[in-house]
Amino acid sequence: MHHDLHGKVAVVTGSARGIGRGIAQRLAQEGCKLVLNDIAEEALALTAAELREQGAQVLALVADVGSRPQVEAMFAQAEAWQGGVDVLVNNAGWSVPVSHLLEMTEAHWDDVQRTNLKSMFLCTQAAARGMVEAGRAGSIVCLSSFGAARAHRAMAAYDASKGGVEAFTRAAALDLAPFGVRVNAIGPGAIHTEFFDHEGIQGQRQRARPVPLGRVGQVQDVAAGAAFLASCDAAYITGQVLYIDGGMHAQLRPPEMDRPLPAAFEGLRRADPATAHQP
């Protein structure tokens, strides 16, 4: 655990469910005071109540992070609550519904860019201004995707937005470095969240097929990366992207197209990658 995060104020956008919720849980374990944000009011209230029961100090704020007035109001409330923000995790994003390029509407393109990219700019600017004015050496973590570097079919708007997130992360890191504010990104791969529960174990196995490590990731895998980048353990890291994808970004083609494992080692393969022990 990164104990230097104890007492830090962390804003996590899109934290009612999924990866954002997992990141909030990990930061709570690290002792952070949490500002949770989402547009799903009921789910946000449930997550906030759960973390409070575990002893965390939590402020839950419903806000659309694609709206400048709502973002500015959210950070004003966060500063009024604890006097400032030390960590921002830009997690809010949208990946569905998918849309083929030949059928994509302008409205779909605009909605995806607003949710995935404009929100990063608005929240990063608001958080960074507060950090710089208060003299806080803050950390900002942006959620990208392996889709920023390797394309999905029928997801041109999503992949373009995530490519923009990574370019923005590098540029923001340079602008904010003189003030001691670090900006990095995480690129999750195939991560299992509650949204995939209906697919069962067989669904996990199917999603794990092209993953070199042989399993889908868990939200805890991404949350650990976020906690690291937010902490002083990453004090000399800025403008970088940490891919947490089981090796997907590294490979040229899926495993079934490559040579089989050497016969002498075939028996050492994990029997069921989807249910393998999680570290």
Per-residue pLDDT tens listing for the chain (279 residues) = 677 999 999 999 999 999 999 999 999 999 999 999 999 999 999 999 999 999 999 999 999 999 999 999 999 999 999 999 999 999 999 878 889 999 999 999 999 999 999 999 999 999 999 999 999 999 999 999 999 999 999 999 999 999 999 999 999 999 999 999 999 999 999 999 887 878 888 988 999 999 999 999 999 999 999 999 999 999 999 999 999 999 999 998 877 777 777 788 777 876 555 555 454
Q: How many domains, in total, are found in the chain?
A: 1
Q: What is the dihedral of CA 44, 143, 84, 122, to 10 degrees?
A: -90
What is the reported pLDDT for 245?
A: 96
Could you list the residue range(s) of the whole structural domain that residue 108 is in?
3-275
Instruction: Establish how many alpha carbons lie within 13 A of residue 221's alpha carbon, considering only the half-sphere containing its beta carbon.
Output: 19
One-letter amino acid identity for 233?
A: D
Asked if 153 and 165 count as a contact pair (C-beta separation under 8 A), the reply is no
**One of 158, 182, 184, 216 is an active-site residue; which one?**
158
What is the reported pLDDT for 19?
A: 97
Strand residues in the chain grouped as ranges (E): 9-12, 33-38, 58-62, 87-90, 139-143, 182-188, 191-192, 217-218, 241-244
- The whole-model pTM stands at 0.93
Question: In DSSP terms, which residues pair with 36 in a beta bridge?
Answer: 12, 60
Q: Residue with structure tokens 């590294």? A: 250
Give the CATH number for residue 12: 3.40.50.720
Q: Is 158 a catalytic residue?
A: yes
What is the reported pLDDT for 275?
A: 56
